Chain A
Amino acid sequence: MAYPVGVETGAGQLGAAAKAWRVAVVLGLTVLFCAGSLVGQDDWWPFSPWRMFSTSQASTGSVISTGIEVQTAGDPGRWVPAPLTPENTGLNRAEIEGRIPQIAADPERLGTLARSHARLRPEAPAWTALRVVRRQIVVVDRRPTGEVRTQVLAEWGAR
């Protein structure tokens, strides 16, 4: 044992009841974590499955990366990429990527990002238009080919 000699033992023993509820807690947590991993989804958090990097990516295909582009009043008509970060829009890239169907159905949602941007960055030029762009980076045999396909998924403009 690596513990120093002379340490007092025997102190701090637990009674039967104190042990019983602790065992029950461990069993309960085990059941919840295992059930979450077996059938749970993300919204079971904190018992959701531990699925970081768990999806299989085909070794030939494309890696999708979603971003936003914006226009400002000072430079109308020109789309400029903007960081899709919480500091800028209140939401991050994954939170937008997961909601593409809802955004496509109701592009007005994108206007809330411009409003959040104005609250978070009052000193920056206000966004007058915003669009979600999907970039597909082509991968062949685990190697990016350098080919990038770009597609506009939804667009919003202030009026």
Chain B
Amino acid sequence: MLTLLVLLPALGSLALLARSDERFTRRIATAFVLPSFALSMWVAQRIHGDTGAVQFEEVYPLVFGVRWRLGVDGLSALFLPTANTVALALLLGSPRASLDRRNVAALLGTLAASLGILCSLDLALLGVFWVLRLIPGRWVIPHTETAAARGWFARTWSIFLWGGSMPLLPVIAAAGWVGMQAHAAHPFDYHEAVARGLPDAWQLPLFLLAMLAIFMRLAIAPFHAWLPLLLEHGPYATGTFIVTVQVPLYLFARVAVPLFPHAQAAGQPVIIAFAVWSAFYGAMLAVAQRGLRRSLGFIAVSHSGFALMGMASLNAEAVHGAILQSVASGVALAGLLVLMRGLLARTGTTRVDELGGVAAQAPRMTVAFVIFAVSALGFPGSMTFVSEDLLFHGVLALHPLVATALLVTTAINAIALLRGVLRTFFGRPGRVTRDIPVDDLGRRERFAILLLAALVIVGGLRPQPLLDVPAGYVRTLLEGHGAATEGTHDDAHHEPHDAHDPDPADHAAR
């Protein structure tokens, strides 16, 4: 089941690459993504959210003790349909010119790697998927104005690729090494690695490396510069997918917290400080932009800060809020980016000072933009309202100053985005919109937008099912982390290999 879910987009990507014809690209891609989407919905609907245990497990042996071990728990079960929904909306709602065969193949490749990360229960396999996630996008870096500029963007991508990947590899290698020293049959098995832990002396450097990878991929300031660049100059579909589906947050919850409980506990204030700064810095820069895409890039940086803030707070409300925030903000930002691409295809620009008065010509696009903008900003009735409410209460318990910073930042984000939307769609027509007729959303675009809008609004009005899915996972994560850090306080000479929970079966739930 899960193997099929992961492999379908990969096969779709290969099928497209094998063709030389551009025709039917969208249909072929949809034919592969749609079953994957249906499977992910089925998994999310059938999963038992009250337990943190892994479900739908599939194991096939590979080489050197590495196994094709896939499984889902409440956390990944929520992210799987989100990734598929975003990919599907990108396929259906993007302008034809943005989706040539190579770009669609890259999108499907990135989707497959992301689904692989979300399902992997073997650290080596997870590492492979982690690296693979960025490779397809590298093939399709678009031509910018000059070769030098293209070269620069390619280098930025490579820094992001290797900077966000390489630091994780020693962590995986170390976990495998410890497993081999313990003569484990499957040294890279995730749950066995968590149960074994890592030697004390390795904890801090490895934790720092893991956090570097996560910060870079999550675009936490000051490791964020790639994200606005990616949205402005990078490959559209793959870039949008990478920005909106926050797999790095998943890695933080999946690897950094359970593998390094003590380092995580000790470093919590620093991580939260980075998250707060990122949220604030992103919001301030979003206000200063004149280009909608770049502004949205900084809002995405700010939202990454929110999600990390919640996850690092490690209390039930905040973690639930962070998980829901990454889903809600991802879907809303994806909707905005799809619409923005449509606007770019119609007008050739997304600069606020060149647009204006779009509402008179494209009322449906305007309404859709407003809906996604207010959804991204946490207005009542949207999923983000629920996630921000939970996040806020969670971080308030941690420190009132953090909560205040979160509130101020949400206000600045709202000012940045709504100001951009009002100036783009309302008022007198600008230099570009004065001369160019702007067509309203087409039928296919409307369908894609409705898909995303329905998810954001229904999820906002009835959020409980979305909160129930990861409930067991959150409980187990917090209990596991609490037990591990308590062990540190109780025993100054903490033995890394002593499992705080001696029953290996229970570790499946971590």
- Answer whether A and B are interacting partners: no
